[in-house]
Structure 1
Amino acid sequence: MRTICLLLCLLTASWTLHAQRPSLKKANKLFEQKSYVEAAKMYRALDQSQEVLQNLADSYYYNSEMKMARTPYNGLFTKYKDSLNQEVYFRYAQALRGAKDYEKADEIMGEYLGYVVDTKKFKENLSRIIPFNYETNLMNQSSRTGDFGIAYYGDKVVFSSFRNRENPVYSWNNQPYLDLYKADVSKDNKLINIQPFSAEINTKTHESNATFTSDGKTMYFSRTNENRVQIGEELVATVKLYKAELKDTLWTNITELPFNSDLYSTQHPVLNHDNTRLYFSSDMPGSLGSFDIFYVDIIDHYEGYVETSYSQPINTGRTINTKHREQFPFVGEDETLYFASDGHQGMGGLDIFMSKIFDGMYSKPLNLGETINTEMDDFGYVLNEEKNMGYFASNRAGYDNLYAFERKENKRQFTVEGDVRDKITKNILPGTTVTLYDENDMVVGQMVVGGDARYVFNTEPNKTYVLEGHRDFYIPTSESFTTNDDGKITFNIELSIESYDDAEDIVVTKDDGYIYIELENIYFDFGKYEIKPQAARTLDVLVDLLNKYPRMEIQLGAHTDNRSSDLYNLALSHNRAAATLEYMVENGIERKRLRSKGYGERLPLVDCGKDCSEEEHSINRRCEFIIMK
Structure 2
Amino acid sequence: MTKKGQFLVLVLCCTFLNNLSAQEIEEKENRLVTKANERYEEYSFRPAIDIYKRVLDKGYVSADLLKKLGNSYYFNADYTEAADTYKRLVEDYTKEVEAEDYFRYAQTLKTLGDYDGSKEFMLKFVELTSDDNRAKLYKSERDFLEDIKQNSGRYNVEPFQYNSPYSDFAPSFYKEGLIFSSDRDTGNLARYRHTWNSKDFLDLYKVNADSISMNAVSKLGEEVNTRLHESTSITTRDGNTLYFTRNNFKEGKYIKDEEGVIRLKIFRATLSDGIWTNIEELPFNSDSYSIAHPALSPDEKTLYFVSDMKGSLGASDIFMVEIKEDGSFGVPRNLGNTINTEARETFPFVTSEDILYFSSDGHPGLGGLDVFATKIAEGKFNGAVVNVGEPVNSKMDDFTFIMDEETRKGYFASNRAEGQGADDIYAFLETKPLKLECIQEITGTVRDKISNQVLVGATVKVIDENNEEVMTTITDSEGNYSLSLDCNQGNFVRASIQGYVPSEEYLGRSDGKAKIIDFYLERDTVTAGFGDDLAKLLQLSTIYFDFDKYNIRKDSEVEVEKVIAAMEKYPSLKIKVNSHTDSRGKDAYNLWLSEKRAEATVKYMISQGISEDRLSGEGFGETKLMNRCANGVKCSKAEHELNRRSEFIIME
- What is the TM-score when the length of structure 1 is the normalising length? 0.62
Query: Residues 30, 578 of structure 1: CA spacing in aligned structure 2 closer, same or farther, 3 A cutoff?
Result: closer
Structure 2 Cα separation of the partners of residues 407 and 322 of structure 1: 28
Whether 1:86 aligns to 2:95 is no
Structure 2 Cα separation of the partners of residues 22 and 135 of structure 1: 54
Counterpart amino acid of residue 320 in structure 1: I
Query: Residues 466, 38 of structure 1: CA spacing in aligned structure 2 closer, same or farther, 3 A cutoff?
Result: closer
Deviations 1:260-302 (A, max 9, x none): 111111100112222211111111222222211112211233x
2:183 is matched with 162
User: How is 1:207-606 mapped onto 2 (pairs within 5 angstroms)?
Assistant: 207-226=230-249, 231=257, 234-301=259-326, 308-362=327-381, 363-397=383-417, 399-409=422-432, 479=505, 489-490=511-512, 542-544=565-567, 576-577=603-604, 580=607
Counterpart amino acid of residue 146 in structure 1: S
2:117 is matched with 104
Structure 1 Cα separation of the partners of residues 191 and 144 of structure 2: 38
1:51 is matched with 64
> Partner of 2:116: helix, strand, or coil?
helix
Query: Residues 269, 55 of structure 1: CA spacing in aligned structure 2 closer, same or farther, 3 A cutoff?
Result: same
Structure 2 Cα separation of the partners of residues 119 and 348 of structure 1: 20
Structure 2 Cα separation of the partners of residues 230 and 462 of structure 1: 46
2:530 is matched with none
Query: Residues 459, 395 of structure 1: CA spacing in aligned structure 2 closer, same or farther, 3 A cutoff?
Result: farther
Q: Is the Cα contact below 8 Å between 2:152 and 2:391 reproduced in 1?
A: no
Q: Is the Cα contact below 8 Å between 1:22 and 1:46 reproduced in 2?
A: no
Structure 1 Cα separation of the partners of residues 366 and 405 of structure 2: 25
1:41 is matched with 50
2:590 is matched with none
Deviations 1:193-213 (A, max 9, x none): 211111110111110111111
Deviation at 1:43, TM superposition (A): 2.6
Deviations 1:42-84 (A, max 9, x none): 3332324323322221221120111110001001001112212
2:458 is matched with none
Q: Is the Cα contact below 8 Å between 1:211 and 1:270 reproduced in 2?
A: yes
Identity %: 34
Query: Residues 357, 176 of structure 1: CA spacing in aligned structure 2 closer, same or farther, 3 A cutoff?
Result: closer
Deviation at 1:146, TM superposition (A): 0.6
Deviation at 1:320, TM superposition (A): 1.7
Q: Is the Cα contact below 8 Å between 1:244 and 1:254 reproduced in 2?
A: yes
Q: CA RMSD in A?
A: 4.8
> Partner of 1:33: helix, strand, or coil?
helix
User: How is 1:144-155 mapped onto 2 (pairs within 5 angstroms)?
Assistant: 144-155=165-176
Deviations 1:539-577 (A, max 9, x none): 9773255799xxxxxxxxxxxxxxxxxxxxxxx999954
Counterpart amino acid of residue 102 in structure 2: Y
Whether 1:179 aligns to 2:213 is no
Q: Is the Cα contact below 8 Å between 1:169 and 1:177 reproduced in 2?
A: no
Query: Residues 541, 408 of structure 1: CA spacing in aligned structure 2 closer, same or farther, 3 A cutoff?
Result: same
Larger radius of gyration: 2
Q: Is the Cα contact below 8 Å between 1:184 and 1:192 reproduced in 2?
A: no
Identify the structure with the greater strand proportion.
Answer: 1
Deviations 1:480-517 (A, max 9, x none): 6599xxxx64359899999xxxxxxxxxxxxxxxxxxx
Whether 1:124 aligns to 2:146 is yes
Structure 2 Cα separation of the partners of residues 160 and 200 of structure 1: 16
Deviations 1:330-362 (A, max 9, x none): 111122211111222222222111121234322
> Partner of 2:35: helix, strand, or coil?
helix
Would you say how many aligned residue pairs link Structure 1 and Structure 2? 459
- What is the TM-score when the length of structure 2 is the normalising length? 0.60
Structure 1 Cα separation of the partners of residues 518 and 262 of structure 2: 51
5+ residue gaps in structure 2?
A: 1-23, 128-134, 443-461, 463-471, 495-502, 521-550, 552-560, 572-598, 616-652
Structure 2 Cα separation of the partners of residues 167 and 64 of structure 1: 15
Q: Is the Cα contact below 8 Å between 1:342 and 1:350 reproduced in 2?
A: yes
Q: Is the Cα contact below 8 Å between 1:220 and 1:269 reproduced in 2?
A: yes
Which of residues 67, 79, 87 in structure 2 aligns to 1:74?
87
Query: Residues 292, 465 of structure 1: CA spacing in aligned structure 2 closer, same or farther, 3 A cutoff?
Result: closer
Query: Residues 544, 131 of structure 1: CA spacing in aligned structure 2 closer, same or farther, 3 A cutoff?
Result: farther
Q: Is the Cα contact below 8 Å between 2:162 and 2:217 reproduced in 1?
A: no
Deviations 1:167-225 (A, max 9, x none): 8999999985100001122389x976211111110111110111111211111111012
Structure 2 Cα separation of the partners of residues 494 and 93 of structure 1: 36
Counterpart amino acid of residue 178 in structure 2: V
Query: Residues 98, 120 of structure 1: CA spacing in aligned structure 2 closer, same or farther, 3 A cutoff?
Result: farther
Which of residues 93, 101, 126 in structure 2 aligns to 1:113?
126
Deviations 1:415-469 (A, max 9, x none): 8799xxxxxxxxxxxxxxxxxx9966589xx9xxxxxxxxxxx98979999999x
Structure 2 Cα separation of the partners of residues 493 and 439 of structure 1: 16
Q: Is the Cα contact below 8 Å between 2:313 and 2:341 reproduced in 1?
A: yes
Deviation at 1:392, TM superposition (A): 0.9
Structure 1 Cα separation of the partners of residues 238 and 434 of structure 2: 37
Structure 2 Cα separation of the partners of residues 169 and 353 of structure 1: 25
2:75 is matched with 62
Structure 1 Cα separation of the partners of residues 162 and 238 of structure 2: 31
Structure 2 Cα separation of the partners of residues 343 and 179 of structure 1: 29
